[in-house]
Structure 1
Amino acid sequence: MDEHTAGLRAVAGPESAGERPIFGRDAELARLFHAVDSASADPVLVLLGDVGMGKSALLDRVARRAEASGARVLRAEGSESESNLAFSALHQLLRPVSAEVDRLPERQRAALRGAFGAGPAPAETDLMLIGVAVLSLLSALGDQRAVVVVLDDTQWFDRASLDTLSFAARRLAGEPVTMLLAARVGEHLRGFDRHVPTLTLGPLDDAAAGRLLDLRPQPPTGRMRTRILDEADGNPLALTELTRAVTAREADTKPPSTGPLPLTDHLERIFAARLNRLPASTTRALLLLAAMDTVDSAIAVPAVLPNAEDEAWPPAEQAGLVRRTGQGLRFSHPLVRSAVYHAAPVDARRAAHLALAEPLRDEPDRRAWHLAAAATRPDAAVAAELERTADRARRRGGHAAAAKALQRAAELAPQREDSARLLVEAAAAAVLTGDLAWVEELAAGVRARTDDASLLADAAAQVGRLAVLTVRHTVVFSRLADAAERLALARPATALDLLAGAAVVRFYCGEDAQRHRTRAVLRRLPEDASHAWLRTWVRAVSDPFDDRAGLLCLLPRVAAEARRRPDRLTAFAIMAWLLDETPQAVRAFDEAFDRWGTRGPLPDGLGGAAAWSYVEQGRWGRAREACARSSALGTTAGLDHAVACAAAVDATVLAYQGDATAARARAEDALALIDPWESRSVAVYARRALGAAALAEGAHEAAYDQLRTVFTADGAPVHYHASYPALADLAAAAVRSGRREEAAVIVERSARALADNASPRLRALLERARGLLADPEDAEPHFRAALADPVLEHWPFERAQTLLDLAEWLRRRRRIAEARAPLAEALETFRRLGARPWIERARAEARAAGLDVTDSTPDALAELSPQQQQIIRLAARGLTNREIGEKLFLSPRTVSSHLYRSFPKLGITARSQLRELIENTLVTAGHQD
């Protein structure tokens, strides 16, 4: 919307021909110009301001300047009337570049056109692919010339558009694309509310306000000027409109005796009074139609008021309520639209909505919402229309739009049971927005409408489905466990489903009392063979080391269930990971990702398990891909816990690869997003990453301090699953920082706690820790035991660390010949993984052992950043830049830039040389990608 066209005009140096001055915004305009003109500026800037502060005028000025300099400007304006229509704002933005959309790769083009309803909706919408498509499109447009994306009134954007644009915005670094957004102060813009620069428009100072008044045709003077300045309080729109009102001698321009009204109320009254002075009822009727929906009025007005437009618009323009541009009708300010709508009698509004609905039979979603707005009592037909609208929105990935349509349908459903059913469906759609408060509101509506146990249970299950992904773990666990206990006898299947969610929360939180509660509720649930896999899930997630042997016996049955029900593959993979059956986990995760790719708007429960499985098996590139996916989904849905978990895993990989600075930054990001006592698992992961980063730098005291925090003061694990893998690193840091005795107490306490339930992997880590902490003459048996089981090859990094420890011990015992084989094997593994700090340590040890250590071709990759290594490996497999971008959620330009910077470091000049360069590395690694 043109937020203050009637009033605010700026001054920021010489004005172009035809441009009117904007007073008092020199610094703001300079900041906006810098954002558009400078390659070093942040690619995204949010402009905030109260109603009437001049956001739209500033954006208009910047857009005109950008177009004059040759940039392509894409614009979209939020509209209350379209905020319920999925992807409507994005469609408005990209409509002028539809030809470029047609040139996108087939999958991206189909996803974007499906979102716009311009093509067949896919069976399952991939929201991340839509985001990648927008990013690719903006990048491709930037190949031709600079692009400026101007988004106004974003507080009224539909949720699907805002999520997609925020996804693209976070990946614009290095692109010739600038995104400028305007929104009202206090509005929550999901995806743009963290780490995005903002510029807030405050009131004009007295001098600028006075100059603005002087620009009016009849500038106020004396006491009236003072009163206008006082009441407007530096708001440019208020200054202009109060002056216009005074000049027209409107009654409500005088401040009330008890003080001024709130600014927006006062301005709406001014506009409403001006509306009442219009000479013809036709004009008011036409304005009302336009206020409801500018797009729809272009269709409806000729049918409803034939030949009315030519005679109706001039009075409205003269009153300063609207202006007509080459693109059609525009209100002078959003408050004018609001005033026109609310000043109309209820019957007039209802008639207008019906009039707008009539010619929209080919646009059923718009028609449904107009019919809903006209409905004053329950109406089954309109409720059914909204249900169909929700279904279309859902199939296109517009989950917020679907939930809103179902919620309104529930209000219009004549039967209470139907209303409750629709609210349950609305809750299911709202779950996929990540808005827990909304889901809880919808569930409360179900409880108010019905006593049906089935519907009540379904509502509770929807709340639980989303609640497990939030950071409110303590509260959420209690609610889920309580609900499961209440439903244990009446609805055991639903109760078990809720308890499964509670088990996930138990894993995140790690509080020991939750284990006892989970067991107690599980014992109350009747045994049912059809739900055996879910009972196994609850046991494995809430306490994998309580009866590991028993759980392993049940795992084949769960695997068989996953083969019959592929949607349960991820659940099986998570259970296998929790039980340290990493090879099975990785195979299942691979199959799940190959089948479903990045589909689904929310991260999976325990979504970090996939990334951890890949980390443990040495497939660090694949781990970072999983982290990127989980982070993208979590950020879009506003689920900080999922984002934090991905950041912690990513930090660990970066630390192993030797990028300690980036690892620390990612780990600190994770810790900033969570409460360490509400999310013990993520806190432990982040501390382990910080410890690994310190070890990579040889800062052993700092490493010990970090790793010590993953165990309590008396040596118990802070988290029942996440803490144990830190034992060996804790011991390594302790030996080199003089904390041997304290670490030995922790290691032995963990050994007693795990006892016979320790997995081969954990037994190996315990033995490595014991070897490091033992007296020199007693260390060898522990190192040998840590390497004895062949299955440990599935944890290559951990095995290579133990091989290096053994080799160092052997060399110090002057058993140099024996040291060479484990040294060579460790060095080869570290090279394959790209573990740079450990490569250097192993090289030094190998030289000391008399080995001829020569750099091999794969070491060239060590000069690249972890992300560049990922891109190089994917490019070597023959993927195009666009395909790599889809995998890593990057634009093709960013991929190309990384390749361009990597080639000189690798000593090559062409992409065709990549495969030959690292083919041997990929074959040797086997699982690297």
Structure 2
Amino acid sequence: MTPAGDEWIVGRDREMTLLARLVDELAAGGSESLVVTGGPGAGKSVLLDATARTARRAGVRVLRCRGSEGESELAFAGLHQLLRPVLDLADGLPPRQRTALLGVFGLDDGTEPASDPMLTALGALTLLSDAAERGPVLLIVDDAHWMDLGTLDVLAFVARRLEGEPVTLVLASRDTDVPPQLAREIRQLTVEPLDQVSAALLLDHQPQPPAGRARSHVLEQAAGVPLALVELARAVGRDPANAEQGTLPLTDRLEAIFAADLPELPKETRQLLLLAAAAESAELAVILSAAGDTATPDDWLPAERAGLVRIDDDHIRFRHPLIRSAVYQAAGYAERRTAHRALAGVLVADPDRRAWHHAAAVSGVDEQAARGLEDSAARAQRRGGYAAAATALERAARLSPDPAVRARRLVRAATMAMYAGHPRWVGEISARVATITDDPALLAEAALRAGWALAVTTQFAGSLGFLLPVAEAAVDAHPVLALDALSTAATPAYNSGAPEHREKILALVERVPPQEDEAGRMWALAACDPLRHRRRALDLLADVRTDPRTASAAGDGTDLPLSRLVVSGGTAWVLDETAEAVRLLGAALEHLRRSPTAGANATVAQALALALYESGAWAECRGALDEAYRTAAEAGLENVAVGSPLLRATLLALRGETEAARTAVQRAVHGIDLPHCLSLQVRAHYALGAAALADGDHAAAYDRFRAVYTQEPEPAPLHFHASDYYLADLAAAAVRTGRTEDARSVLDAARRRLARGEMSPRLDAIVHRAAALLAEPDDAERHFERALADPAGDQWPFERAQVRLDYAEWLRRRRRAVAARSLLGAALHVFERLGARPWTERARAELRAAGVTPGAKPRTSLDVLAELTAQQVQIARLAATGLTNREIGERIFLSPRTVGFHLYRIFPKLGITSRGQLRDALADLPE
């Protein structure tokens, strides 16, 4: 039993110790986020209250908010509740952040354009950072499962960026309904039911503790849930016969208990309670006004004495959400409608809440109520509350008597949900459009929205099920629409790897006549068959880059419109034009950072990370992966949220951090249906295979690399594009495990298949490396030479260094050590630069065997770079240009304090003491 202020908390010593430690660390300048989960009545709110008291005693400022079921559709209602005590600091925010943040609260002048969700979230983060300048801040969020989506997105954004801030976030949510924005990354503390000893002790502390058989029944039916124990004990004290009645499901029984006092209350009190339940947490004046002349403040007293509500600061709050539910459900349908009608009548100054109450008061369809919600959605959209707008439009559609209007509102709701970054929701809304309209334009737009939504998850087949029929129907009459649908479909088709979808897309692409903008055709050809359509896609890529309408004087294509930059960069990556992909995707990401959209930022950042990884820019790759994962989690892009950790796991494996790599893969693919996501499945196999190679477990490595090819009737790639890049690694593992015959069967089948198209220089080098490793001794050297012949191979330094290392080992075994030394030196330089420790050690061992003793390597600028995280490199370079911490934070979505925290760590690593020395210290670091 743990003391907490004036109360004793029974059976929660473990939880209280952890939360107290969290407060102590915060008071000392630390920071951590925590989600407290548990079932209804588990005592989460009690723990939060105790934590708040502990924090205040430690001199920590506490900011609180609570989710409300009735306000979950009001844009940023929870965020406004949380930040209201510190909004006086908003004047110090950068102008764009201040406008965005105040705009979502309706506190601007109303003349600004719609707020950007990323700027809103950044404004909240900066405001909290400024508040923390005056002392540590504890954020407490209760009932997060009922929080509006806009607030949840901001809280998730803030939670990921609290490093270096004396700000701690503690949220409570029902264990079955943890908001997905907070479920994957933030540490969770699960509040379990009390054990029997603690449950009995809690009963003993009740005013009228039950005894005998009644006590046994209470302990059995409460099942360790503290709220149930307290309420059942109260019910037994009021009427001992309650303990002898038959059992009910726990929630039903609790609701019945909460409603048990209602018939005994005066009619006026019951009326007030119903109004408060309909309004959720509400102002006392609003409820009294809605009740009419017959109600007075004294009518609340019976409800307060019964422990149903409390009144704080002229607000009515139910003691527990289940009480509100019990009160609301105990009323008849007509009574509930009357209550909502009365509330709508008095909320004249609050059009959004009025619209929702008006909608709840109507029966069936009602165009006037639907129009009110549509207007509310428009206001929410102007404030950047896209999730609230989508919710309002969804409800407006249900109220719409005209099916055509209903379908139009649903399509708009899907669009708002897309902007809010909730793809699964988009899909659910879009799917309903087909059931209520046969309008081809609306159906096509809904299908495109649904296809987009599923394309960024891992439900690729579902995405194509929407997109391909649209393309087929439009290919003759609306070729532009058809090409748009096919271009969108090419991405899930690539990720799924299913041949039937790719063939269907390619067949439809051929039916679309030439268009003014051929970027969609270019991507569809490259993504669906980069081998057979390589030359054609390259020609289109050149045409798009040099389009006279958009081409720059430099001719590098980086001033193309954003959509073309993204498509061109993706095409270049698939075709192994890696340097071009880095240039185009880097320009696209810079464009997006100036006007951020979470979903687009995540997609482009991951594509850029893949190109950077292949080009040997591993430090920059890690920075892009960080950005991709953060924004993917915020936007609900499941494909990126899985793919980014897989690439990070690959980097960890290649650097020798093998256990961390395996753990990262396991976490990334948890709950993912990999057989339907073949591109991700292949990348997961490679990450695990690379970890096995780094550990020297060649048998396990071979099994992983072999798994990216099928077995019967002839080895074929699991994924039509990704698998073949691991041919040489498969061959290297086969040689060390005596499985060369099986590996040769894979290689021979691959060479026959690849001969049907045009290989890139990169793929050609990989095939020749594999052939050299598996060849007879007299035939190996020509394949090694071919693998190194094309100067373009320098674009992929790690792969080229692997060829040199393999070739040097082959030469040394044939007593040609002198010839091997230069190859080993070049390979070692690359491995050391990349930090690929296992390969570095292997190259050093080979150099010693070749008669060269590698000396102690002096500390170089590359060593300095290796000591910095990717984010620190980015911050240092921005600071060196003269940007302030606030300006840097706005560019990379961090608070100014966090930027300063990183600079504090960067200076000693660079051997400097001031910001003014950054430019010179960074001069020698590679880009």
TM over 0.5: same fold?
yes
What does residue 534 of structure 2 align with? 548
- Does residue 353 of structure 2 align to residue 356 of structure 1? no
- Measured after TM superposition, the shift of residue 84 of structure 1 is 0.2
CA contact (8 A) 1:128 1:633 kept: no
What does residue 75 of structure 2 align with? 86
Q: 1:340 to 1:527 in 2, by over 3 A?
A: same
Distance between the aligned counterparts of 1:289 and 1:871, measured in 2?
54
Q: 1:745 to 1:136 in 2, by over 3 A?
A: farther
What does residue 534 of structure 1 align with? 520
- Measured after TM superposition, the shift of residue 466 of structure 1 is 1.0
CA contact (8 A) 1:387 1:409 kept: yes
CA contact (8 A) 2:451 2:462 kept: no
- Measured after TM superposition, the shift of residue 801 of structure 1 is 4.2
- Measured after TM superposition, the shift of residue 408 of structure 1 is 0.9
What does residue 587 of structure 2 align with? 591
Q: 1:812 to 1:401 in 2, by over 3 A?
A: same
CA contact (8 A) 1:608 1:649 kept: no
Deviates more, 1:680-689 or 1:605-614: 605-614
What does residue 716 of structure 2 align with? 716
Corresponding letter in the other structure for 1:916 = D
CA contact (8 A) 1:834 1:861 kept: no
Distance between the aligned counterparts of 2:899 and 2:733, measured in 1?
38
Distance between the aligned counterparts of 2:847 and 2:668, measured in 1?
37
Give 3-state SS (helix, strand or coil) of 2:925's partner. helix
- Where do 1:209-358 residues align within 5 Å? 212-213=202-203, 215-217=205-207, 231-245=221-235, 254=242, 259-279=246-266, 281=268, 283-293=269-279, 297-298=283-284, 300-301=286-287, 303-304=289-290, 305=292, 309-326=296-313, 328-358=315-345
What does residue 582 of structure 1 align with? 578
Give 3-state SS (helix, strand or coil) of 1:76's partner. strand
Distance between the aligned counterparts of 2:604 and 2:906, measured in 1?
35
- Measured after TM superposition, the shift of residue 159 of structure 1 is 1.4
- Where do 1:52-67 residues align within 5 Å? 52-67=41-56
Q: 1:200 to 1:833 in 2, by over 3 A?
A: closer
- Measured after TM superposition, the shift of residue 179 of structure 1 is 2.9
CA contact (8 A) 1:360 1:367 kept: yes
- Measured after TM superposition, the shift of residue 872 of structure 1 is 6.9
Distance between the aligned counterparts of 1:768 and 1:393, measured in 2?
58
- Does residue 393 of structure 2 align to residue 406 of structure 1? yes
Distance between the aligned counterparts of 1:76 and 1:351, measured in 2?
29
Distance between the aligned counterparts of 2:889 and 2:659, measured in 1?
25
TM-score, scaled to structure 2:
0.86
Give 3-state SS (helix, strand or coil) of 2:721's partner. coil
What does residue 378 of structure 1 align with? 365
Distance between the aligned counterparts of 2:397 and 2:661, measured in 1?
49
Q: 1:920 to 1:270 in 2, by over 3 A?
A: closer
CA contact (8 A) 1:115 1:121 kept: no
CA contact (8 A) 1:364 1:389 kept: yes
- 1:162-181 CA distance string (max 9 Å, x none): 22223333455675444332
CA contact (8 A) 1:487 1:494 kept: yes
Distance between the aligned counterparts of 1:621 and 1:113, measured in 2?
37
What does residue 877 of structure 2 align with? 874
- Does residue 179 of structure 2 align to residue 189 of structure 1? yes
What does residue 464 of structure 1 align with? 451
What does residue 4 of structure 1 align with? none
Corresponding letter in the other structure for 1:156 = W
1:450 to 414, 418, 437: 437
CA contact (8 A) 1:125 1:600 kept: no
Cα RMSD after superposing both structures: 4.0
- Measured after TM superposition, the shift of residue 419 of structure 1 is 0.7
- 1:493-512 CA distance string (max 9 Å, x none): 55554444443222112133
- Measured after TM superposition, the shift of residue 359 of structure 1 is 5.2
What does residue 863 of structure 2 align with? 860
Q: 1:177 to 1:551 in 2, by over 3 A?
A: same
What does residue 925 of structure 1 align with? none
Q: Structure 2: where are the runs of 5+ without partners?
A: 551-559
- Where do 1:684-699 residues align within 5 Å? 684-696=682-694
Q: 1:53 to 1:822 in 2, by over 3 A?
A: closer
1:706 to 700, 704, 707: 704
- Measured after TM superposition, the shift of residue 711 of structure 1 is 2.7
What does residue 761 of structure 2 align with? 760
Distance between the aligned counterparts of 1:228 and 1:686, measured in 2?
51
Give 3-state SS (helix, strand or coil) of 2:530's partner. coil
Q: Structure 1: where are the runs of 5+ without partners?
A: 1-10, 923-927
Q: 1:453 to 1:858 in 2, by over 3 A?
A: same
2:404 to 417, 439, 455: 417
Corresponding letter in the other structure for 2:85 = P
Give 3-state SS (helix, strand or coil) of 1:48's partner. strand
What does residue 138 of structure 2 align with? 148
- Measured after TM superposition, the shift of residue 909 of structure 1 is 4.4
Distance between the aligned counterparts of 1:736 and 1:567, measured in 2?
47
CA contact (8 A) 1:504 1:606 kept: no
CA contact (8 A) 2:431 2:450 kept: no
Q: 1:295 to 1:204 in 2, by over 3 A?
A: closer
Corresponding letter in the other structure for 1:794 = Q
- Does residue 87 of structure 2 align to residue 98 of structure 1? yes
- 1:209-248 CA distance string (max 9 Å, x none): 5555555555556666665555545444444445555666
Distance between the aligned counterparts of 1:193 and 1:536, measured in 2?
38
Distance between the aligned counterparts of 2:871 and 2:403, measured in 1?
58
Q: 1:566 to 1:59 in 2, by over 3 A?
A: closer
CA contact (8 A) 1:469 1:639 kept: yes
Distance between the aligned counterparts of 2:692 and 2:408, measured in 1?
55
Q: How many residues align?
A: 905
- 1:766-824 CA distance string (max 9 Å, x none): 33444444456655544443344343343344344445556666777777777676666
Distance between the aligned counterparts of 1:876 and 1:698, measured in 2?
42
Give 3-state SS (helix, strand or coil) of 1:191's partner. helix
Give 3-state SS (helix, strand or coil) of 2:177's partner. coil
CA contact (8 A) 1:871 1:899 kept: no
CA contact (8 A) 2:451 2:465 kept: no
Deviates more, 1:400-409 or 1:292-301: 292-301
Distance between the aligned counterparts of 1:458 and 1:790, measured in 2?
47
Q: 1:262 to 1:669 in 2, by over 3 A?
A: closer
- Measured after TM superposition, the shift of residue 634 of structure 1 is 2.8
Q: Percent identity?
A: 46
What does residue 378 of structure 2 align with? 391
- Measured after TM superposition, the shift of residue 883 of structure 1 is 5.7
Corresponding letter in the other structure for 1:915 = R
Distance between the aligned counterparts of 1:886 and 1:695, measured in 2?
41
Give 3-state SS (helix, strand or coil) of 2:719's partner. coil
Q: 1:213 to 1:780 in 2, by over 3 A?
A: closer
Deviates more, 1:131-140 or 1:593-602: 131-140
- Measured after TM superposition, the shift of residue 594 of structure 1 is 1.8
Corresponding letter in the other structure for 2:597 = G
Corresponding letter in the other structure for 2:925 = T
Corresponding letter in the other structure for 1:514 = H
What does residue 651 of structure 1 align with? 649
What does residue 729 of structure 1 align with? 729
1:71 to 55, 60, 71: 60
Q: 1:876 to 1:832 in 2, by over 3 A?
A: farther
- Does residue 603 of structure 2 align to residue 602 of structure 1? no
CA contact (8 A) 1:876 1:918 kept: no
CA contact (8 A) 2:447 2:466 kept: no
- 1:73-122 CA distance string (max 9 Å, x none): 22111111210012211221122222445444555444433443434697
Distance between the aligned counterparts of 2:11 and 2:202, measured in 1?
9
Distance between the aligned counterparts of 1:345 and 1:675, measured in 2?
45
Q: 1:333 to 1:477 in 2, by over 3 A?
A: same
Distance between the aligned counterparts of 2:659 and 2:916, measured in 1?
33
Distance between the aligned counterparts of 2:716 and 2:604, measured in 1?
23
